[in-house]
Amino acid sequence: MPEIVLTVHLMIVLFFIAGFFIGLSWNQPMFRYIHAGSLGGITLLMTLRIPCPLTLLEEALRNQSYEGSFLATWLNRILYLEWFDPLHVLMVNVLFMALVLSSFWWHPVKK
């Protein structure tokens, strides 16, 4: 079960990254607003140092089950960027959020 939560978590992260490029090319207003709003929510959580609910769920499930698989171990390392300083991860997230928000100015939403 923790592997399922981890996989969903990774898919959400990929949505944040790929969603920027998809939003620019597709330029669907609702998609861009949902993408920017959800990324803003995650950026706010990170800034306030509030753990992501999916992270908490995965950790709780992992403590109840076996140690984990090879795939889960590597997905964890990739998703949680264990080799980076948390401040650097926050800075990259804030810069990416600024890029997403600025895209509404330099690539306006079609009406």
pLDDT band with cut points at 50, 70 and 90 for residue 80: confident
pLDDT at 63: 80
| Residue-wise pLDDT tens digits, 25-76 | 999 999 999 999 999 999 999 999 999 999 889 888 888 655 556 566 666 6
pLDDT at 12: 95
Q: Is the pLDDT of residue 94 over 60?
A: yes
Mean pLDDT, to the nearest integer, of 94-105? 97
DSSP string, the chain: -HHHHHHHHHHHHHHHHHHHHHHHHH--HHHHHHHHHHHHHHHHHHHTTPPPHHHHHHHHHHHHS-S--HHHHHHHHHHTTTTS-HHHHHHHHHHHHHHHHHHHHHSPPP-
pTM for the full predicted model: 0.83
